[in-house]
């Protein structure tokens, strides 16, 4: 799983079977400090994440299992982050 920030939505009127009624979001992977940490991800979302929110994204087979096994999905939003706590190592 990765931590990310929702930076936008994608609308597609034509989708593969198994993807109808599915909201697609553009997710920017981020570090725990909120800094960019990789390439943009397009993820399916059934929990209602919105622009600017921090989210947890699952990728690969675990993402596909949430939907139909035949759906061409490799990333899904599995949580909206309310808060987290990190203990930074002492220098």
The number of domains in the chain is 1
The pLDDT-based confidence of 4 (bands split at 50, 70, 90) is very high
pTM: 0.83
What CATH number does residue 74 fall under?
A: 2.40.50.220
In a domain, 91, yes or no: no
The pLDDT-based confidence of 70 (bands split at 50, 70, 90) is low
In angstroms, the CA 24 to CA 57 distance is 12
In a domain, 17, yes or no: yes
Looking only at the bridges linking them, the beta strands covering 23-29 and 41-45 are antiparallel
In a domain, 90, yes or no: no
What pLDDT score was predicted for residue 67?
A: 66
In a domain, 89, yes or no: no
In a domain, 12, yes or no: yes
What pLDDT score was predicted for residue 21?
A: 76
In angstroms, the CA 53 to CA 27 distance is 10
- The domain in which residue 47 lies consists of 2-80
């Amino acid at each position: 799983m990765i931590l990310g920030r929702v930076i936008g939505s994608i609308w597609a009127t034509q989708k593969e079977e198994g993807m109808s009624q599915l909201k697609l979001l553009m997710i920017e992977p981020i570090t725990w400090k909120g800094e960019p940490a990789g390439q943009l991800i397009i993820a399916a979302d059934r929990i209602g994440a919105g622009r600017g929110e921090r989210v947890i994204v699952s990728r690969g087979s675990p993402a596909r299992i949430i939907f139909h096994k035949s759906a061409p999905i490799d990333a899904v939003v599995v949580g909206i982050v309310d808060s987290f706590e990190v203990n930074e190592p002492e220098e």
